Amino acid sequence: MSDREVIRIPAMRRSVLFTATLLAVAATPVAADSPLTDKLTAAGDQYESQVIEWRRWFHANPELSNQEFETAEKVSAELKAMGLKPERDYGGTGVVAMIEGGLPGPIVALRADMDALPVKEEVDLPFASKAMGDYRGQSVPVMHACGHDTHMAMLLGAARALVDVRESLPGSVMLIFQPAEEGVAGGVVAGAERMLAEGLFEGRKPAAVFGLHTFSGVPAKMVAYRSGPAMASSDRFVIKVRGKQTHGSRPWGGIDPIVVASQIIMGVQTIASRQVDVTKAPSVVSFGIVNGGIRNNIIPDEVYLEGTIRNFDMGIREQIHAKVRKTAIAIADSAGATADVTIDLGYPVTINDPALTERMLPTVARVVGEGNLIESPLITGAEDFSYYALQTPGMFLFLGGTPPDRDPFSAPSNHSPLFYVDESTLKVGVNILTNLVADYLHQAQQTQSRVTR
């Protein structure tokens, strides 16, 4: 095992790439095996071809956020074939099923996302997507360019393996197939947030929730993790600066919103660098749209600004929002202009519960083997797994997808039309999910047994 592994982890939203150094985990203690370890490992081998078959079906039949109708039907049919009773009451197109263990114990949740992206596939595969979908009123190509096809296939594989040993499980497993992780336009509540709002955890709140995400920038069969804040919150802001139109030759005859907007842009940039505690958590405030004016010699009435706020601390997140509003309004007012500020809350910070992470890392290390578990840096991309982890202790892992003969630095990123996942990594993902469940429930059983002696 090398001291350092230099790899890239691309964020899963907005096609942003993040290059990072990952430190190899040294001397990770090995967890006590659950009595089911050998059976679950054998099941991972037994069902590998079926998992690959599922993955290829999902890949060839992608659907956009909140449009996962055929996907949900396929997932439901496969769960029914396992003897489970899929529920279709959450998230519109979401699917949930419970594996009731034969012994008393807590509930553990496993989550996979279902939606694809408006991307035209350019990978030469026999099961490449040729699907079309409706995106903001336009017919667009659709592709599983972020690995959600693999997530569903791995969760189905884990479900099948866990069903085989259900009588020996000291607890139950909640399987969550979630739509709309990539989000929907217009501020509509969707995905994990909607499933929870519709009562997903009511009366059966899991003691822990686990999820994983395939990434092209991590070598296949390797896993990256981070304890505590792992992925950023993601919020969109809009600032409309209103001045007074005048001829460009007579700027004193009006109020120039372009100048005011430029001052607001520079003022807002001091928030992350000068106004919040940079030693507590990193933050990013970026402008992505600046739009104003239609002619070179006319000062317009209005300038439109739009950008994104990323942060790793929920308290600092609120501070930044307040400071963006205050800065924009005050600068505009000082020039006689006005600034209307709107901040649309996106996904919260994705936080891996430190105690849960410490408890379950030995399980992951045992499954992936020496040298294949590495620590991730902070990732400024966002994930709506964050909503589950705000309700109950969560652990979210990054599963490598780059083939062993390819350089992770040059591999096409998540959200790319050339995004590709080496299918050899799917069995690893299945084994991680099943062993996390078995070890967690086994440890809970042992703890309860000691308490009741």
* Angle between helices 148-164 and 37-46 in degrees, nearest 10: 130
CA distance 169 to 326: 54
CA distance 44 to 422: 16
Residues for the chain: how many in total? 453
CA distance 450 to 69: 47
Active site residue 318: no
Active site residue 347: yes
In this structure, are residues 25 and 375 in contact, taking their beta carbons and an 8 Å threshold? yes
CA distance 412 to 217: 8
**Of residues 94, 99, 128, the one with CA closest to residue 112:** 94
Which residue out of 78, 182, 383, 423 is catalytically annotated?
A: 423
In this structure, are residues 80 and 104 in contact, taking their beta carbons and an 8 Å threshold? no
Which residue out of 47, 90, 225, 347 is catalytically annotated?
A: 347
Instruction: Return the bridge partners of 287, or none.
Output: 307
Please report which residue ranges of 276-313 form alpha helices under DSSP H.
Answer: none
Beta-strand pair 373-375/19-24: antiparallel
Supply the residues annotated as catalytic: 347, 423
